[in-house]
Amino acid sequence: MPATALFDVDGTLLDTSYWHTIAWTEALAQFSHHPVMARIHGAIGMGGDQLLDHVLGDDRDRSEDEAISAAHQALFARLWPGLRAFDGAADLLRELKRRGWSIVLASSASARDLAVMRRVLDADDVIDAATSADDVDASKPAPDLVHAALDKAGIGPQQALFVGDTPWDVQAAGQAKVPCIAVLSGGFGERVLRAAGALEVHTTVAELLTGLDGSALADPNRYTAGSR
């Protein structure tokens, strides 16, 4: 099986992290919760259940969780017209495909949001598979999403690299025994990403593309058949 590059989507390929921060802020306000936005941003990249634990505490009344998450989904949908892919995102996927990588989107977004983001990304011609929230029971930083992406690719962790933008991506990949390359475009600093275990840190996917020959993603043969 070919080596596979697993890509987070929100904040890595698409500039959505701060849109999600706004949507969660407004959704929480509807239920009289007003945490500072920096705390909400610090949880972006987690699934909704874990985000609410992080922001509101795990000893809270959970009876509102489903309604808060539904409000976030509705508010984020209003922002769809403003979504854009990062410069170089589709070009990076196409270059990796040309070099022999298989491409899997490892997203925990809802199937509806993922469909919209794939249209914005406009790289379906090189994407081999994708995950969504429907594929996992536990969200990041649990490793379930990475395991689901590996299953979609039909490979083991020794044949994969993960690319993400949050410490939760790095931790989830690490728990699944998959190295993670991180980008700063989601708003987390290099020190935080390195501390989580990132193999490399790049400013953006465009910079990763420019420096690809010096990256662990340079040669897919390096990661096949357990030869990492």
Of 25, 130, 149, the residue nearest 76 (C-alpha): 25
Mean pLDDT of 56-77: 93
Question: Which of 1.10.150, 3.40.1000, 3.40.720, 1.20.950 is the CATH number of 17-81?
Answer: 1.10.150
H, E, C per residue of 15-83 = CCHHHHHHHHHHHHHCCCCCCCHHHHHHHECECHHHHHHHHHCCCCCHHHHHHHHHHHHHHHHHCHHHC
What percent of the chain is helix, strand and coil (3-state, nearest 5)?
A: 55, 15, 35
Q: What are the structure tokens assigned to 69, written together?
A: 């998450």
What is the per-residue pLDDT across 99-147, written as a single tens digit (0 to 9) for each? 999 999 999 899 999 999 999 999 999 999 999 988 988 888 999 999 9
Cis peptide before 141 (omega within 30 of 0): yes
In the chain, CATH 3.40.50.1000 covers 4-15+84-223
User: Rounded to two decimals, what is the model's pTM?
Assistant: 0.94
- With a CB cutoff of 8 Å and minimum separation 6, the contacts of 38 are none
Q: Which helix (H) or strand (E) holds 121?
A: helix 111-121
Domain with CATH 1.10.150 in the chain: 17-81
Which one of 1.10.390.10, 3.40.50.1000, 3.30.428.10, 3.50.50.60 gives the CATH number of domain 4-15+84-223?
3.40.50.1000
Q: Rounded to 5 degrees, what angle do the CA atoms 1, 14, 212 make?
A: 50
Burial class (CB in 10 A: 0-12, 13-18, 19+), 197: middle
* 164-201 pLDDT per residue, tens: 999 999 999 999 999 999 999 999 999 999 999 999 99
